[in-house]
Chain A
Amino acid sequence: MSSATFNPNSFFIADKAIDRDAFQADLQDVTCGAFVLFEGWVRNHNDGRDVLQLEYEVYQPLALKEGQQILLEALDRFDITRASAVHRHGLLALTEPAVLVGVAAAHRGAAFDACRYIIDEVKTRLPIWKREHYADGGTEWVDCRKKPSATE
């Protein structure tokens, strides 16, 4: 995303590096004394393997709909003023932000709680998948294979 196109209280999918300043600027509100920002970054290891980069696949029609629904739930449940989130798709390098959640509220308690709620729901409800590319040359979709102990 290049310019300040982040309307508040909206969920976005971005195919380029996320403009953190624009994202944050659109959440500013004179009635708010607290702003909580969560960033999920691409790290260099998972399950004991060295990770070189991450690839995100997103099914946009449903991800946008369900992401928006999560924000509406947060605005309804917590005493907050604004909430937005943006998730990347495509190939990401180490340290790049994959997801941002921003919440503005009059006071910090509700802002922290709502931010935690939104990121937790985003991780379990949105049709988004992550493929790790490893230093040893392999790739794997995260959390998709049955565990060896599974009896199903």
Chain B
Amino acid sequence: MKEFTVKWFAAYRDATGLEEQTVLSAAQSPAELYAQLILEHEKLAHYTRALVAINDEMASWDAPLKGGEQILFFPPVAGG
């Protein structure tokens, strides 16, 4: 199992009730980690999966995870 720091924003923060959490997971990618966390935070299922960043860089959902990363899950953005 690897340890990750997960940060939630906007609608996701409301859905999880958390700004940040530490997660133990065997996930190999952000997609796998998100799928695991939906089971923990059922309200997330009401929201669209959108963008992900790893250590403050935009990333793809299948980017490889080593453990120790900070994973940022972004709801659909709505600037402007």
**A residues within 8 Å of B by Cβ?**
40, 56-57, 59, 61-62, 65-66, 87, 98-99, 119, 122-131, 141-146, 150
Number of B residues contacting the other chain (C-beta, 8 Å)?
A: 20
Give the secondary structure class of A's interface. Answer: mixed
Number of A-B residue pairs, CB cutoff 8 Å, is 73
User: In the complex, which residues of chain A have a beta carbon less than 8 angstroms from the beta carbon of B72?
Assistant: 59, 62, 127
Are A144 and B79 closer than 8 Å at their CB atoms? no
> What are 14 A-B contacts with C-beta separation under 8 Å?
A57-B10, A59-B72, A62-B72, A87-B79, A122-B80, A123-B79, A127-B9, A127-B53, A128-B78, A129-B78, A141-B14, A141-B78, A144-B75, A145-B46
Are A128 and B77 closer than 8 Å at their CB atoms? yes
- Besides the contacts A128-B79, A129-B11, A142-B78, what 13 more A-B pairs have beta carbons closer than 8 Å? A59-B72, A62-B56, A122-B80, A123-B78, A123-B80, A124-B77, A127-B72, A127-B77, A128-B77, A141-B11, A141-B14, A144-B11, A145-B46
Q: Closest A-chain residue to B47, C-beta based?
A: A144
Q: Closest B-chain residue to A69, C-beta based?
A: B58
**B residues within 8 Å of A by Cβ?**
9-11, 14, 46-48, 51, 53, 56-58, 72, 74-80
